[in-house]
Amino acid sequence: MGWLDASQLKKLEEWPPEEILAAALTDETSTQHLQQGARNALLGKYGYESWDFLIARTRDKKNETSDELIELLTTGKSNQRQLQWTLMDCAPGCQFRLHAHPNIELVYCLEGALHEIRMEGLPFTTSFDSDGSGEGVLIGPSVTQLQRPWTFGTLQQGTWLVNEVGSIHKSFTASNCGCKLLVLWGGSHANIPEEPSMISEAVRSMDEKVCACHAGESITETFLPASERNESGGVKRKLNEGGEESVPE
């Protein structure tokens, strides 16, 4: 659908532009509804109180690109990478590689559902190395030594998702249901070379559960690193200073 250009940034009161959102219209939506959904997703992720307040910030500090969202709205870039709008049609059983996000990604689910296994916690890096090909392909960081929980989540039809710079997850569609997406992104992910076996096992087990669940039923699950499991595969129980049992966050 094309790269984000200066003309789409001139009037932030009308962002995202209607000509882009029109590609995601259904009988039950309007461009205004989609526009407000996209804004709310960005405001919620980055903690701004309103779109008007954010616009004022961009005008007061046009050169402040250390803020991810202000950089996007003033330059059309994120983490110094030019962004583009794309329509994606993901077949049933589609799997993206485990990856980090080298830039902001804004995603709207037009049809079906997109599932994910996501690393919890704040991003631990926002800098990514090139693969050396000279084609701008980036490599994600190693996560094999990280002891963090991972959570299952679903982007349902009609909802928005924001991936901040440095966030890490593996996205996939269920074996019995694909999805269509409207995406603002940099054109590539920073794929992580070595995928921990826990992640591939989590995708397999959640695919089975999603395919077996009833319409409208939601599933939540957390996958713990070995350091947080007990012998039966559950959560290790720990005692706090008062001698009471606590569960790792």
- The answer to whether residue 216 scores a pLDDT higher than 80 is no
pLDDT at 194: 94
φ, ψ dihedrals at 71, nearest 5°: -60, -45
**pLDDT tens figures, 34-54:** 999 999 999 999 999 999 999
Q: Which domains does the chain have, with CATH numbers?
A: 2-230 (2.60.120.10)
Neighbour tally for 232: CB within 10 Å:
6
Q: Which of 79, 62, 77 is closest to 166 using CA atoms?
A: 79
pLDDT at 58: 86
Instruction: Check: CB of residue 99 under 8 Å from CB of residue 191.
Output: yes
- The answer to whether residue 134 scores a pLDDT higher than 60 is yes
More confident residue, 225 or 84: 84
- The answer to whether residue 249 scores a pLDDT higher than 50 is no
> Which string of b and e fits 130-143 if b means at least 16 CB within 10 Å?
eeeeeeeebbbbeb
Structure tokens at 86: 């794309």
**pLDDT tens figures, 68-118:** 999 998 889 999 999 999 999 999 999 999 999 999 999 999 999 999 999
**pLDDT range class, residue 9, cuts 50, 70, 90:** low
